[in-house]
Chains A and B, each alone.
Chain A
């Protein structure tokens, strides 16, 4: 992808190694990647520069992923409409249901492989490449 057409992804995840693993895969697939440790840092970044896709963990310090998504969906349309892919260790039907209610677009249960991540990131960010 040309630089100006690159889709931008914000990883919202507190595990440093997961951020590295996801970043490696997404950059390799042509995404522009930024990171946030929790929902509050993600909001700070989004309010400065919106992105094309959010990849969000559930359990994070200070602001968890579901509270983050609920807050996100109350922002102005440009930010509220950003698609969200949840990746979480929580795998029960009620966890997935809670994420849907909060406003997540899709839910993957960890551990998530790099190919699986890139595939879903492409679809959810509207990437035709």
Chain B
């Protein structure tokens, strides 16, 4: 078997010098921006540079790399750098931001109460989705508070979906009250019915 051989020579991965990283982050080719975005997570001032690059980046894969670097840092500052993307017009940017925020649950938790009270309905819906990554007790408490004040059926539906997956039995009263407030929405009635069955089999503590 002479034709399978060990350790063929290989080209090294195309990695740019860190000194150029911040300049390349917004000014390079797709490949250079990708490399710079990946390098920035470990550089001083990286979060600010990544946040700025995120605002102007148009390539979906480079944007994913920027978001991943921000999730590696996972601080309140990196969460704040991602949050404006939740309000983006294009669905791809919103989806990318949501996935990134869900990958840093500890850092995003302090921002969630404000997000769940945002004036923008779409932001509240997406914020319910962020709660999916939280511990069941935290998610249950935040989403039940939301259900009791929320007037938009779609926001309630998003919260109920998350509660049906991870909510605890303590969510039952808020779910029942919500169903009563939307008698004209058959989907809310359906969703609450299923969610009540689901939360009944969840433990009330994280034991």
Q: Is A66 a contact of B194 with CB atoms below 8 Å? A: no
User: CA separation between A32 and B129, bound complex, in Å?
Assistant: 29
Asked whether B157 is an interface residue with its Cβ less than 8 Å from the other chain, the reply is: yes
Task: Collect the chain B residues with CB atoms within 8 Å of residue A63's CB.
Answer: 95
A77 interface residue (CB < 8 Å to B): no
Which residues on A sit within 8 Å (CB–CB) of B66?
Answer: none
- Per the 8 Å Cβ criterion, residues 1-26 of A in contact with B are 15-18, 20-21
Interchain CB contact (< 8 A) of A66 among B92, B125, B188: B92
In the A-B complex, the 9 residue pairs with the smallest Cβ-Cβ separation, listed nearest first, are A64-B91, A64-B95, A89-B154, A15-B161, A111-B187, A17-B191, A66-B91, A17-B161, A58-B91
Q: Give the docked Cα–Cα distance between A64 and B129 (Å).
A: 14
Docked pose: A39 CA to B164 CA in angstroms: 23
User: Contact check: which of B60, B95, B157, B186 meets A15 at CB < 8 Å?
Assistant: B157
Distance in angstroms from B147 CB to nearest chain A CB is: 14
B98 at the interface (CB under 8 A from A): yes
Q: Whose C-beta in chain B lies nearest to the C-beta of A115? A: B186
Residues from chain B with a CB closer than 8 A to the CB of A90 are 91, 122
Q: Which residues of B contact A15 (CB under 8 A)?
A: 157-158, 161
Cβ contact within 8 Å between A21 and B122: no
Contact string against B for A residues 100-128, beta-carbon threshold 8 Å, 1 for contact and 0 otherwise: 00000000001111100000000000000
A17 touches B190 (CB 8 A): yes
Name A70's closest neighbour in chain B (CB-CB). Answer: B92
Q: Contact: A89 with B95, CB < 8 Å?
A: no
Interface residues on A, range: 20 to 34
By the criterion CB–CB under 8 Å, are A59 and B99 in contact? no
In the complex, which residues of chain B have a beta carbon less than 8 angstroms from the beta carbon of A61?
A: 95, 98-99, 102
Q: How far is the CB of A109 from chain B (nearest CB, A)?
A: 9
Apart from the given pairs A17-B194, A61-B95, A89-B121, 19 other A-B contacts in the complex at a CB distance below 8 Å: A15-B157, A18-B157, A18-B187, A21-B190, A58-B91, A59-B95, A60-B95, A63-B95, A67-B91, A67-B95, A89-B154, A90-B91, A90-B122, A98-B91, A110-B154, A110-B187, A111-B153, A111-B188, A113-B186
A-B contact pairs, 25 of them (CB 8 A): A15-B161, A17-B160, A17-B164, A17-B191, A18-B161, A20-B190, A21-B191, A58-B91, A59-B126, A60-B95, A61-B98, A61-B99, A61-B102, A64-B95, A65-B91, A66-B90, A67-B60, A67-B92, A89-B121, A89-B158, A90-B91, A94-B89, A110-B154, A111-B185, A111-B187
- Closest CB in chain B relative to A14 CB, distance in Å: 8
Size range of the chain B interface in the assembly: 20 to 34
A36 to B164, CA, bound (A): 18
Cβ–Cβ < 8 Å partners of A94 in chain B: 89
A111 to B155, CA, bound (A): 10
A39 to chain B: closest residue by CB: B95
> Nearest B residue to A60 by beta-carbon distance?
B95
User: In angstroms, how far is the closest chain B Cβ from the Cβ of A37?
Assistant: 12
Which residues from B are CB-within-8-Å of A48? none
> In the complex the two chains form, is A17's CB within 8 Å of B157's CB?
yes
Q: Are B164 and A59 neighbours in the complex by a CB distance under 8 Å?
A: no
Q: Which of A63, A110, A111 has the most CB of B within 10 A?
A: A111
